[in-house]
Amino acid sequence: MAIDRETGAYEPINFQNIRDVVPELKRLGPEIDVIEFDEPLDSSGITPPLWLEIAAIIRNNYSRYDGFVVLHGTDTMAYTASALSFILNDISKPVILTGSQLPINTLRTDGRENLITAIEIAAAESDGLPLVPELCIYFENKLYRGNRTTKRSADHFNAFESPNFPLLAEAGINIVYNHQLIRKNIDPGLKSPANPVIDENVFILKLFPGITASAIESVVNIPGLRGLILETYGSGNAPEDEWLIKPLAQGVKKGIVTANITQCISGTVSMKRYKTGLGLLDAGVISGYDMTSEAAVTKLMYLLGQHSEQESVSRLFETSLAGELTLNN
């Protein structure tokens, strides 16, 4: 982002001139090339086809570079990082998303340090192999697994957090990596398709005290709906009333993959823990375990795009494909 000098509003920046804005890049060791969209886009305008476009750029240039840094607005960065972790699940090179809370052409911007360190991490190697061969977000001295990350603040530099998974690295005087947590072995059985499809017929429904039966029925009856993410209370709890359970069960029967994630900042879904979760389980609702909302919705979009069978989508949704969830013991 940059500041428009006439209006004072934040706007996307032309990154072809990034070396002029961040002259420190000229002193970095790695050779850097810049690829950008024809028109810079605010992240609030990101759509699933753009995830595929970013992924295609990385795939088409994969053999030319040791790593990739994606400059992205913070508002939807966790969605893009999560989506790319599934679309590019078979990669073995770093893809690091970063950005800034303050425009990069302002004096107090956090963007310069974020960008410089993200490039260092993307280029970091040991014995000729990348140190972080997975999809990450780097922000305010911290490296996160991308699909474990959510935006926590609109105002502070430490804008992101990973509530259910530790940091992959932390940057101080040195960059300290948690090597044991970094994904290195990609299962060839989970190889991503060369031309993936994203199915956008997904909806997120957050429960709240006072939600009406008609609201539930309206959502379940959205034309073309194939996936529903249900944000419930605590460890996956919801009212036991028929007005909720019955339409959800009917939706599952007609092919809507319905998944349960918690509204809590941290923790996991365990529908067998309380009676209030058993009704959802009996209705055919599957578990999202400890996935973030961003990971759950993008994963469901991705799986629905690759599979037509409800059973396959449900099974894979409850499987860790890119380190996005922790299975309950």
Residue 117 maps to which CATH number? 3.40.50.1170
Cβ–Cβ under 8 Å, residues 71 and 93: no
pLDDT given for residue 19 in this prediction: 57
Any domain includes 175: yes
Neighbours of 250 (CB within 10 A): 15
User: Rounded to whole angstroms, how far apart are CA atoms 252 and 168?
Assistant: 37
> Which run of H or of E encompasses 295?
helix 293-306
Does residue 328 sit within a domain?
no
Query: Residue 25: what pLDDT?
Result: 62
Nearest to 71 by CA among 111, 19, 110: 111
Q: Are residues 105 and 20 in the same domain?
A: yes
Domain boundary among 167, 190, 213: 190
Q: Is 69 in the same domain as 213?
A: no
Claim to verify: residue 83 and residue 206 sit in the same structural domain: no
* Residue 95 DSSP code: E
pLDDT score of 276: 80
In this structure, the answer to whether residues 99 and 210 fall within a common structural domain is no
Do 43 and 109 belong to one domain?
yes
What distances in angstroms separate CA 27 from CA 19, 24, 31, 114, one per listed residue? 10, 6, 10, 16
* Confidence (pTM): 0.91
- Please report the sign of the dihedral spanned by the C-alpha atoms of residue 314, residue 320, residue 321, residue 325: positive
Residue 71 to residues 23, 34, 99, 114: CA-CA distances in angstroms? 17, 10, 5, 10
pLDDT at 9: 44
Q: Which of 142, 170, 190 corresponds to the end of one domain?
A: 190
Residues 257 and 109 in one domain: no
Q: How many domains does the chain have?
A: 2
255 and 112 in a single domain? The answer is: no
Same domain, 277 and 185: no
**8 Å CB contact between 279 and 243:** no
Which structural domain range is residue 300 located in? 202-317
Confidence (pLDDT) at 36: 80
**Are residues 179 and 226 part of one domain?**
no
In order along its 329 residues, the chain shows pLDDT tens digits of 333 444 444 445 555 556 556 656 656 667 778 888 777 788 999 999 999 999 999 999 999 999 999 999 999 999 999 999 999 998 999 999 999 877 666 656 777 889 989 999 999 999 999 999 999 999 999 999 999 999 999 988 888 999 999 999 999 999 999 999 999 865 555 567 778 999 999 999 999 999 999 999 999 999 999 999 999 999 999 999 999 999 999 999 999 999 999 999 999 999 988 888 899 999 999 999 999 999 999 999 999 999 999 999 999 999 999 999 998 65
Does one domain contain both 61 and 164? yes
Instruction: Please indicate, yes or no, whether residues 106 and 157 belong to a single structural domain of this protein.
Output: yes
327 is a domain residue: no
| Residues 251, 258: Cα–Cα separation, whole Å | 8
DSSP letter, residue 162: -
